[in-house]
Amino acid sequence: MCGIVAYVGHREACPVIIKGLKRLEYRGYDSAGIALMNGSLNVYKKKGKVADLEAALADVDTHGNIGIGHTRWATHGEPNDVNAHPHYSTSRNIAIIHNGIIENYASLKQLLIQKGHTFQSETDSEVFINLIEDIRVNNNCSLPEAVRLAMHEVVGAYAIVVLSKDTPNQLIAARKGSPLVVGIGKGEFFLASDATPIIEYTNEVVYLNDYELAVIHDGQLDIRTKEDVKKTPYVQTLEMALESIEKGGYEHFMLKEIFEQPKSILDSMRGRMIAENDHLMMAGVREFENKFQNADRIIIVACGTSWHAGLVAEYLFEDLARIPVEVEYASEFRYRNPIITEKDIVIAISQSGETADTLAALELAKSKGATIFGVCNVVGSSIARATDAGAYTHAGPEIGVASTKAFTAQVTVLTLIAMIIGKKRGTLETTKLRQLIAEMESIPSKVEKALQLNEQIIGISEVYKDATNFLYLGRGYNFPVALEGALKLKEISYIHAEGYPAAEMKHGPIALIDEQMPVVVIATKDSSYEKIVSNVQEVRARKGKVIAVVTEGDTTIPAMADHVIEIPETSEHLVPLLSVIPLQLLSYHIAVMRGCNVDQPRNLAKSVTVE
């Protein structure tokens, strides 16, 4: 987590960095800070949002063309002014911004204290900058060399940028495990955790690899490994549009992203499906078609919402391709000595492509010889680069911390993969495949229709905005959707919510139901419809308030429910793409009505780069 931005060039550094930090605020918003060469090397930092830092800078002469900035998601040390980045070294000659965790910081700190270094904060980052200073003084070497040598001493994850009073035209950056992008403009350079702060100025970027060091000095970019081997920068041209990272008239990014779903779903299937001749095409899958065909098992590793998309994929792969699937929390999988063979395919699902646990889980599976396939949204991300092959979801940048369009894009891509493998394995017959392709094509317009429920859902949100608990129930393909609906509500409105398979309710959670309990039941017309009708009756019998998501035209469940949300009819395999929409809207409106910051919910960060 944490977002870092740095600039050197002909512009005023401060506004570029502040604007960049605002774009990266989704990565953490406990505190923000900036170091500028405005006369000397000065650090300004503040607990709270980037806007608080901006206000604190109002009376400061920020004039200068080089600087480094940081927005923090606290790991070591509580969120306060002192623990905010940047951090000076003891001499105050150099300053650092850091994203990641230095695991051996405590032992390094002891050593540095013995050598006379002093510390202001509780952070591991201040240890890193003092280590660099210590190496520089003891070895009488240049600052880039000291950073390179320090990379050999620290254990953990980092993306850092260092600025020195003595070399006021130089930025030094390094990475291991946390993302870092270099933007190359005309006579100017940018460094950032992702491309969003850069895209406004240039679309030429270089993604740093692990254990690489970048030195920007006198208009030159020099990249070398921590073993001091010079690398030729691999410059990529980004296609990201500026509008895609702005709110475009919506009150929140989350709402914009919910409403973008007809387009993002279409983008995620674009060019991958031709209905007329039931042709399905995905370069990454084609590369490993035989592996998929002969796989003993598919293991899906992911976290949070991406894990829910993985659960939908479990139903899809088993149903359409008849391959056994296990869906694992990446954080559990990586630490439980799992049995993995060379005939396993491991699919890592991640919006950001930077989630530390997912990355570690796939590295573990790779070391055991499994084939690793990635389903990521962020192009060039660490997970995308660590896989053997993969498919991007093409949902566009997702800025709201609560994942919405990334989920539906993941489910779309996973559905296509299941169809491709099912076709190849002969488990998905042509007529059914054709029907599914035709239905897939109609999904964007059906999502559009589901979005028209917005006004109705505002009304339902009014009724339940003060509830203290919610239950979400679903069966089959709608069970993961129930989990996702509950996660969305709790993360942005801070209302306790639980998602459950509807039939499991009577094994415990039914005890929670009384007249105060809103129960969202996803009860679309599918193979478990009759069963879920009984579950709704069980809730009614205990006086629970039923908010039912049903298929258009249903008359049975509406007769039993307090509120009915009708979504368009579709195939059972595709229903999560529609049934999740009202649940996203419900959580959004309830959170707004409760005065919560939906785009930046407390304690959360968009990209979880710590385990």
305 touches ligand F6R (CB under 6 A): yes
Determine the Cα–Cα distance for residues 45 and 36; give it in Å rounded to an integer. 11
**Active-site residue, 606 included:** yes
Nearest-10 crossing angle of helices 261-269, 405-425: 30
306, 382, 393, 587: which one contacts ligand F6R (CB under 6 A)? 306
Q: Which residue in 2, 14, 303, 596 is the catalytic one? A: 2
SS3 category, 157: strand
- Is 2 noted as a catalytic residue in this protein? yes
Question: What's the rounded Cα separation, in Å, for the pair 101 and 161?
Answer: 14
- Determine phi and psi for 489, rounding to 5 degrees: -65, -50
Helices (H) and strands (E) in the chain, counts: 19, 27
Chain residue at closest Cβ approach to ligand F6R: 304
Q: How far is the CB of 515 from ligand F6R (least distance, A)?
A: 30
Applying the rule CB under 6 A, the residues between 472 and 531 that interact with ligand F6R are 487, 491
Contact region for ligand F6R (CB under 6 A) — 168-176, 298-306, 317-325, 338-346?
298-306
Q: Does 381 bind ligand F6R (CB under 6 A)?
A: no
| 22, 45, 46, 606: the active-site residue | 606
Q: How many residues bind ligand F6R (CB under 6 A)?
A: 15
Residue among 301 and 325 whose Cβ is closer to ligand F6R: 301
| Nearer of residues 62 and 331 to ligand F6R, judged by Cβ | 331
Q: Which is nearer to ligand F6R, 53 or 489 (CB)?
A: 489
The count of residues in the chain is 611
Distance separating alpha carbons of residues 549 and 524, to the nearest angstrom: 7
Q: Cα angle at 163 between 173 and 124, to 5 degrees?
A: 70
Q: Which is nearer to ligand F6R, 31 or 355 (CB)?
A: 355
Computed from CA positions of residues 55, 57, 58, 62, in that sequence, does the dihedral angle turn out positive or negative? negative
Q: Please, which of residues 317-376 interact with ligand F6R by CB under 6 A?
A: 350-352, 355, 358
What is the spatial distance between Cα 400 and Cα 192, in angstroms, rounded to a whole number? 19
Q: What is the smallest separation between the CB atom of 491 and ligand F6R, expressed in angstroms?
A: 6
**Distance, CA of 228 to CA of 161 (rounded, Å):** 18
DSSP per position, 198-233? TTTT-SEEEEPPTTEEEEEETTEEEEEETT--EE--
Q: Which of 69, 304, 501, 582 binds ligand F6R (CB under 6 A)?
A: 304
Q: Which two tokens stand for residue 192?
A: 């950032």
Query: Nearest 5°: CA angle at 74, between 71 and 80?
Result: 80
Residue number, 488 or 563, with CB nearest to ligand F6R = 488
Rg (CA), the chain: 25
- For residue 563, the one-letter residue type is H
CA distances from 100 to 80, 108, 125, 277 (A): 18, 16, 9, 49
Q: Is 303 in the site for ligand F6R (CB under 6 A)?
A: yes
Angstrom distance (rounded) from CA 47 to CA 599: 19
Q: Which is nearer to ligand F6R, 123 or 355 (CB)?
A: 355
Q: Which is nearer to ligand F6R, 4 or 608 (CB)?
A: 608
For 441, the 3-state DSSP assignment is: helix
Q: Which token pair is 6?
A: 């740095």
Nearer to ligand F6R, 50 or 402 (CB): 402
Instruction: Write each residue from 252 to 291 as x if it is in contact with ligand F6R (CB under 6 A), else as -, in one continuous string.
Output: ----------------------------------------
The total of other beta-carbon atoms located within 10 Å of residue 24's CB is 28
User: What is the three-state SS of 346-369?
Assistant: EEEEECCCCCHHHHHHHHHHHHCC
> Among residue numbers 589 through 608, which ones bind ligand F6R (CB under 6 A)?
607-608
Q: How far is the CB of 241 from ligand F6R (least distance, A)?
A: 21
Q: Is residue 428 within 8 Å of 419, Cβ to Cβ?
A: yes
CB of 129 to ligand F6R, least distance (A): 29
Spatial CA neighbour of 406 closest among 301, 285, 304, 264: 264
CB of 307 to ligand F6R, least distance (A): 7
For tokens 């419900």, name the residue. 586
For ligand F6R, give the closer residue by CB, 71 or 305.
Answer: 305
Cα 407 to Cα 355: distance, rounded to the nearest angstrom: 15
Min separation Cβ 386 and ligand F6R, Å = 13
The least CB distance from residue 355 to ligand F6R, in Å, is: 3
Distance CA 583, CA 579 (A): 7
Q: Smallest gap, in angstroms, from Cβ of residue 354 to ligand F6R?
A: 7
Q: For residue 192, what are the β-bridge partners?
A: 5, 181
Q: Which is nearer to ligand F6R, 199 or 406 (CB)?
A: 406
Binding site residues, ligand F6R, CB under 6 A: 303-306, 350-352, 355, 358, 402-403, 487, 491, 607-608
Q: Which active-site residues does the annotation give?
A: 2, 606
